[in-house]
Amino acid sequence: MSTTAAAAPLYPVQPIGPGPLALIARALQARLQLVFPTTRFQHDVVPAKMTPEIWKQLLRRTPFIGLGWNAVSNQMDGRLFDGQSSWSVFLVLKNPASVTARFFGDSQGAGLFLLTQAAIGVLNGFTIEGFGSVRVTQAGNVYAESWDDDAAAVIVDVSVSTTLPLPELITAPGDLNEFSQMMATWNFGGTDVLTGQLTVGDRSGE
């Protein structure tokens, strides 16, 4: 019996860490769980764009709080990526009693109006350490034909100040085994130019 060894990775480096976007997502989820406890509400990450298929999946888990990432925009020129990340919070519930019950609530539970107010209240102005304040930009009703008439949903859009430290997110040259040396040129203005060879990492034992 023969065995085949697994192919070595092209660049044997440490995996990239969670990074700013993952940290923001976790912070938003934790904040929402303060007013929507996991003992009562289902929480999960969902696609930012709702489709009938996704809607049907969510209805099996109501009341449901979903977090979707939309985009991250850059407002700076140059190497620093500094801007806003936009997110959507989905509040989904199902109540066959009536439209009024779904929005105002009844003896079975709170309605979407109250849930929306709670989401806005807990998120707007919330400061995520290392990033900045969360800003709720709008909240609106979500509806499409062929969706279950016993359910209703609201989408709450939020934005968060986001800085991506690019040098920390990409592989450092010193981690690449194939990359041992580099040439560098320094221009001090005028005709003063210095060229030199740099050794990356310690290869004295090779």
Helical ranges in the chain per DSSP H: 19-35, 52-59, 99-104, 112-123, 166-169
* Whether pLDDT at 89 is above 90: yes
Q: Are 131 and 163 in contact (CB under 8 A)?
A: yes
pLDDT tens digits, residue range 6-63?
554 444 444 455 678 888 999 999 999 999 999 999 999 988 777 777 777 777 778 9
pLDDT score recorded for residue 193: 59
**pLDDT at residue 86 tops 50:** yes
- Please check the confidence at residue 146 and state whether its pLDDT lies above 70: no
Tell me what pLDDT residue 113 has.
92
Cis peptide before 173 (omega within 30 of 0): no
- Domains with residue ranges and CATH for the chain: 19-167 (3.30.2000.10), 173-199 (no CATH)
DSSP string, 13-65: -PPP--HHHHHHHHHHHHHHHHHS-TTTSEEEE--SS--HHHHHHHHTT-SEE
Residue bearing the bigger pLDDT, 151 or 105: 105
Q: Roughly what angle, to the nearest 10 degrees, separates helices 19-35 and 112-123?
A: 130
In whole angstroms, give the CA distance from residue 16 to residue 168: 9
pTM of structure: 0.69
Kindly report which listed range (41-50, 109-118, 134-143, 171-180) carries the lowest average pLDDT score. 171-180
